[in-house]
Structure 1
Amino acid sequence: MATHTNGEVNSPVISHSNDDTAITVLVVDDDPDLLDLTATFLEREEDDFEVLSESDPTAAIDRVNDTDLDAIVSDYDMPTLNGLEFLAAIREDHDSIPFILFTGKGSEEIASEAISKGVTDYLEKKTGPEQYSLLANRICNAVEQYHSAEALKQSEEKFSKLVKNSTDVLGIVDQKGQFKYISPACEHTLGYNQSELIGECAFDYMPPDDRHEAMDEFFAAIEDPEKEPIIEFRFEDPDGGWTIVEARGKNLFDDEFINGFVVNARDITELKKREQELKQQNERLRNMRKVMSHDLQNPVGVAADSLVLYRDSGEDKWLDKVETAVSRIDELLNKVTALSTDQTNITDTQTVELRDIVSSAWETVDTSGAQLHIQDSKAFEADPSRLKQVFENLLRNAVEHSDSEILIEVGTTDDGLYFEDTGPGIPEDERDEVFQSGYTTAPEKTGFGLNIVKEIVIGHGWEITIREGDEGGARFEIDGIVFQPAVYN
Structure 2
Amino acid sequence: MSTDVEPAGVVDDESFFRTLVEHGSDAIISIDADSTILFANRSVERVFGYEPAELVGEPLTVVMPERFQAAHHAAIAEYVETGERTLDWNDVELPGEHKDGHEVQLSITFEEHRYDGKRVFSGIMRDVTDRVERERKLERQNEQLERFAGILSHDLRDPLNTARAQVALAKNADDPTEYLDELERVHDRMGELIEDVLTLTKQGQTVGEPEPVSPRAVAEEAWQTVGSGDATLSVEDVGVVQADRERLRSLFENLLGNAVHHGGDCVTVEVGPLPADDGFYVEDDGPGIPAEDREDVFDYGFTTDDGGTGFGLNIVESIADAHGWEVTVAESEAGGARFEFAGVRLGADDE
Q: TM-score, normalised on structure 2?
A: 0.76
Counterparts of 2:107 and 2:34, CA distance in 1 = 17
Deviates more, 1:438-447 or 1:247-256: 247-256
**Which residue is equivalent to 2:20?**
161
Among candidates 28, 32, 39, match of residue 170 of structure 1 = 28
Counterparts of 1:450 and 1:242, CA distance in 2 = 27
1:443-489 superposed Cα distances (whole Å, 9 cap, x missing partner): 4443311111122233344443323333321222345x274799xxx
Shift of 1:318: 0.9
With over 3 angstroms needed to count, the CA separation of the structure-2 counterparts of 1:436 and 1:328, relative to structure 1, is same
Counterparts of 2:297 and 2:13, CA distance in 1 = 63
Indicate conservation of the 8 Å contact 1:291/1:438, yes or no: no
With over 3 angstroms needed to count, the CA separation of the structure-2 counterparts of 1:475 and 1:334, relative to structure 1, is closer
Larger RCO, structure (CA 8 Å, separation 6 or more): 2
**Which residue is equivalent to 1:321?**
182
1:128-152 superposed Cα distances (whole Å, 9 cap, x missing partner): xxxxxxxxxxxxxxxxxxxxxx99x
Question: Does the alignment pair 1:397 with 2:258?
Answer: yes
Q: Which runs of 5+ in 2 are unaligned?
A: none
Indicate conservation of the 8 Å contact 1:186/1:193, yes or no: yes
Give the partner amino acid of 2:39.
Y
Counterparts of 1:484 and 1:201, CA distance in 2 = 32
**Which residue is equivalent to 1:475?**
338
Counterparts of 1:253 and 1:467, CA distance in 2 = 51
Question: Which SS does the other structure have where 2:328 is aligned?
Answer: strand
Indicate conservation of the 8 Å contact 2:235/2:271, yes or no: yes
1:377-426 superposed Cα distances (whole Å, 9 cap, x missing partner): 47665544433432331121112110232242433257654433221111
Counterparts of 2:97 and 2:241, CA distance in 1 = 15
Counterparts of 1:188 and 1:436, CA distance in 2 = 38
Shift of 1:307: 1.5
Question: Which SS does the other structure have where 2:203 is aligned?
Answer: coil
**Which residue is equivalent to 1:46?**
none
With over 3 angstroms needed to count, the CA separation of the structure-2 counterparts of 1:306 and 1:352, relative to structure 1, is same
Give the partner amino acid of 2:75.
A
1:317-343 superposed Cα distances (whole Å, 9 cap, x missing partner): 31232233223323323333443x442
Count of aligned positions? 331
Among candidates 454, 466, 475, match of residue 329 of structure 2 = 466
Counterparts of 1:463 and 1:445, CA distance in 2 = 24
Indicate conservation of the 8 Å contact 2:215/2:238, yes or no: no
**Which residue is equivalent to 1:48?**
none
1:273-317 superposed Cα distances (whole Å, 9 cap, x missing partner): 223312321221122122111111232122112212222132423
Counterparts of 2:51 and 2:114, CA distance in 1 = 28
Deviates more, 1:291-300 or 1:376-385: 376-385
Question: Which SS does the other structure have where 1:471 is aligned?
Answer: coil
**Which residue is equivalent to 1:301?**
161
Indicate conservation of the 8 Å contact 1:358/1:391, yes or no: no
Indicate conservation of the 8 Å contact 1:406/1:421, yes or no: yes
1:81-160 alignment, distance < 5 Å: 90=4, 93=5, 154=13, 157-158=16-17, 160=19
Indicate conservation of the 8 Å contact 2:208/2:244, yes or no: yes
Indicate conservation of the 8 Å contact 1:378/1:483, yes or no: no
Indicate conservation of the 8 Å contact 1:465/1:476, yes or no: yes
Give the partner amino acid of 2:23.
K
Counterparts of 2:297 and 2:271, CA distance in 1 = 20
Question: Does the alignment pair 1:283 with 2:143?
Answer: yes
Counterparts of 1:388 and 1:179, CA distance in 2 = 47
Q: Let me know the Cα RMSD of the aligned residues.
A: 3.8
Shift of 1:193: 4.6
With over 3 angstroms needed to count, the CA separation of the structure-2 counterparts of 1:418 and 1:295, relative to structure 1, is same
Counterparts of 2:76 and 2:338, CA distance in 1 = 41
Give the partner amino acid of 2:155.
D
Larger Rg: 1
**Which residue is equivalent to 2:219?**
361
Question: Does the alignment pair 1:273 with 2:133?
Answer: yes
Question: Which SS does the other structure have where 1:157 is aligned?
Answer: helix
Shift of 1:439: 3.3
Q: Which runs of 5+ in 1 are unaligned?
A: 1-57, 65-89, 96-149
Counterparts of 1:308 and 1:161, CA distance in 2 = 79
Counterparts of 1:380 and 1:246, CA distance in 2 = 29
With over 3 angstroms needed to count, the CA separation of the structure-2 counterparts of 1:378 and 1:203, relative to structure 1, is farther
Counterparts of 2:289 and 2:316, CA distance in 1 = 16
With over 3 angstroms needed to count, the CA separation of the structure-2 counterparts of 1:313 and 1:302, relative to structure 1, is farther
Q: TM-score, normalised on structure 1?
A: 0.57
Shift of 1:345: 3.1
**Which residue is equivalent to 1:117?**
none
Counterparts of 1:290 and 1:351, CA distance in 2 = 35
Counterparts of 2:147 and 2:181, CA distance in 1 = 29
Shift of 1:192: 4.7
Give the partner amino acid of 2:133.
K
Give the partner amino acid of 2:168.
V
With over 3 angstroms needed to count, the CA separation of the structure-2 counterparts of 1:200 and 1:343, relative to structure 1, is same
1:33-72 alignment, distance < 5 Å: 58=1, 61=2, 64=3
Counterparts of 2:71 and 2:346, CA distance in 1 = 26
With over 3 angstroms needed to count, the CA separation of the structure-2 counterparts of 1:364 and 1:469, relative to structure 1, is closer
Indicate conservation of the 8 Å contact 2:207/2:319, yes or no: no
**Which residue is equivalent to 1:430?**
293
Shift of 1:179: 4.3
Give the partner amino acid of 2:299.
Q
1:123-180 superposed Cα distances (whole Å, 9 cap, x missing partner): xxxxxxxxxxxxxxxxxxxxxxxxxxx99x5256235325523x32111246786643
